Amino acid sequence: MKHQFLLFVSSFSLVLCDLASYLRERENFLENENSRFLGSNLELTSSESLVNDYLMNLKYAELDYGFATADFMQSQNFLISKPKYDSSQVFQFIKQMPKGGAIHVHDTAITNLDFLVANVTYRDNLFMCLVDNKINFRFAATKPDDTADCIWSSVSESRQNSGNVEEFDEAIYRNLTLVVPDPFSEYPNINAVWSSFQKYFVTSGGLICYEPVFRDYFYKGLEEFYEDNVQYMEIRTTLPTIYRLDGSVLSDFQAMLTYEEVFAKFKADHPDFSGAKIIYAPSRKVTEETVYDYISLATVLKRSFPDLMAGFDLVGQEDLGVPLIEFLEPILSGQTESDLKYFFHAGETQWNGMSTDLNIIDALLLNATRIGHGYAIAKHPLAIELAKNRNVPIEVCPLSNQVLMLVSDLRNHPATILMADNFPVIISSDDPPVWNASALSYDYYAAFMAMTSRNTDIRFLKQISYNSLFYSTLDGDSKAEAISLFEQKWDIFIQSFLKRILPSFVSYN
């Protein structure tokens, strides 16, 4: 088989010439391709480039480790792999990095569960009962009346009588978290995990919706995001019923005032926070008549709280809810009557061509300002074009999609494909405490490691941070201020990172 070497010796220059032109063509191709990913239009300063080199070395090392060991945390369920995230240096970098806004999160799932267990359940006047093996909580001046389903007892007494306070608190924690030792057997399918997920909102609701807790919970939630270097939030709320010790409840107007007060206090305490807004997002499992009510309320709230109220959405497991097409008339009326902005959850599904999937089309045609999740949009080339032309971003929540079983290996997340072609994407975190994440960094990190190319660099992280402000509902001046604040924070981060870290980095290279 050696005879071909003579052949190639004689044609060597020809081959080399071909090879050189091949390599040029390849280089051009890769450059062209690299100019298309989300963030590739940004130009880095020399300081940013140095930090980027540092970051990329960490990214390469983690990818190489994952490749060599086939132990790649982002391809494993976050319910199991979370400790690996915490020990990642890339993750630690991203935690310190300014990240702009968190604009797809839900109000009763923004604060760590420890706050609920270790703080809220230790407050006075809390009662509990077991319904269907799940804990219901209620604050009340005196023990609420028992019903056939629900025999109330004092939490403090029950804790004392339990004989094992640690185990008692652990049991409460287990009633709130989705984290289990073996998610694959615990959640055999998407409906099973959604069922547990929704129980969180029932159990936590009794704790969070007590007025004094409500204020503290939000303040604490804002603080957690702020400490994670998030400067702005848009928070979806169902406007749950907020109650007082005497059993009286807040009106929707009073609830909005409460948000406004908490946000104002937080901003006063943290002048470098750009604020927070509310998206009214009640359950989608309702009749058209109820959606008329929703839209009417949203319109009133928008008029009363023009700065606080960003717009309208519908929530709940989309596959088992009512699709947008059933609500066209009230939704269209909301736009014609009052210029309400829409932020519909749409396409949070794998069921290609079924009603949830088609929500993508309706969300776009109904002029949604942004699309929540939009997981299914990648299967709709025309919708991709329309969203790009109208500059409608999707709010991608990678860990939520993984934990709620749309995708197991995050490298298969369809937003990977969209982001490779500069589709407008925002990364957010949905309900981080329910799966033992927190704030925003875990999702930024997951996206950076699993949903971009090996060579995709800090420009991607800066771009998704920009996007979270650029596509926010902050108006002209506020938006410019927020972006300017972000850039200040970014520059400080880059400079202080260089000062703190680079000397040791250089010395080890």
What residues contact residue 182 under an 8 Å CB cut-off, 6+ apart? Answer: none
Q: State the Cα–Cα distance between residues 91 and 495, nearest whole angstrom.
A: 19
User: Catalytic one among 104, 106, 345, 373?
Assistant: 373
Cβ proximity to a second copy: between 134 and 411 the closer is 411
User: Catalytic one among 348, 380, 395, 413?
Assistant: 348
Asked if 32 is part of the footprint of a second copy (rule: CB under 8 A), the reply reads: yes
Interface stretch with a second copy, choices 17-25, 81-89, 216-224, 501-509 (CB under 8 A): 17-25
Return the SS3 of 234.
strand
Taking the CB of residue 227, how many other CB atoms lie within 10 A of it?
11
Asked if 4 is part of the footprint of a second copy (rule: CB under 8 A), the reply reads: yes
Interacting residues with a second copy between 340 and 369 (CB under 8 A)? 350-354, 357-358, 361-362, 365-366
Buried b (16+ CB within 10 A) or exposed e, 298-327: bbebbeebeebbbbbbbbbbbbebbbbebb
What residues contact residue 159 under an 8 Å CB cut-off, 6+ apart? Answer: 165, 168, 169
* Residue window 63-92: x/- pattern of binding to a second copy, with contact defined by CB under 8 A: x---x--xx---x-----------------
Asked if 13 is part of the footprint of a second copy (rule: CB under 8 A), the reply reads: no
Q: Are 380 and 359 in contact (CB under 8 A)?
A: no
Asked if 6 is part of the footprint of a second copy (rule: CB under 8 A), the reply reads: no
* Residue window 34-63: x/- pattern of binding to a second copy, with contact defined by CB under 8 A: --x--------------------------x
Interacting residues with a second copy between 393 and 422 (CB under 8 A)? 406-409, 411-412, 414, 416-417, 420-421
Phi, psi of 341 (to 5 degrees): -90, 140
Interface stretch with a second copy, choices 31-39, 92-100, 146-154, 471-479 (CB under 8 A): 31-39
Q: State the Cα–Cα distance between residues 281 and 239, nearest whole angstrom.
A: 8
* Nearest distance, CB of residue 422 and a second copy, angstroms: 9
Cβ proximity to a second copy: between 268 and 382 the closer is 382
Strands 153-154 and 126-131: antiparallel
- DSSP class per residue in 295-335: HHHHHHHHHH-TTTEEEE--BS-GGGS--GGGGHHHHHHHH
Cβ proximity to a second copy: between 40 and 156 the closer is 40
* Nearest distance, CB of residue 80 and a second copy, angstroms: 12
Cβ proximity to a second copy: between 29 and 122 the closer is 29
Taking the CB of residue 493, how many other CB atoms lie within 10 A of it?
17
The neighbouring-strand residues paired with 278 are 235, 309
Asked if 7 is part of the footprint of a second copy (rule: CB under 8 A), the reply reads: yes
Residue 186 designated active-site: no
Q: State the Cα–Cα distance between residues 307 and 294, nearest whole angstrom.
A: 19
- Return the CA Rg of the chain: 25
* Nearest distance, CB of residue 94 and a second copy, angstroms: 18
Interacting residues with a second copy between 183 and 202 (CB under 8 A)? 184, 189-192
Among 219, 292, 493, 505, binds a second copy (CB under 8 A): 292
Cβ proximity to a second copy: between 129 and 301 the closer is 301
Among 40, 333, 501, 502, binds a second copy (CB under 8 A): 333
* Nearest distance, CB of residue 109 and a second copy, angstroms: 23
Q: Which residue is listed with tokens 């547990």?
A: 196
Residue 234 designated active-site: no
Catalytic residues: 348, 373
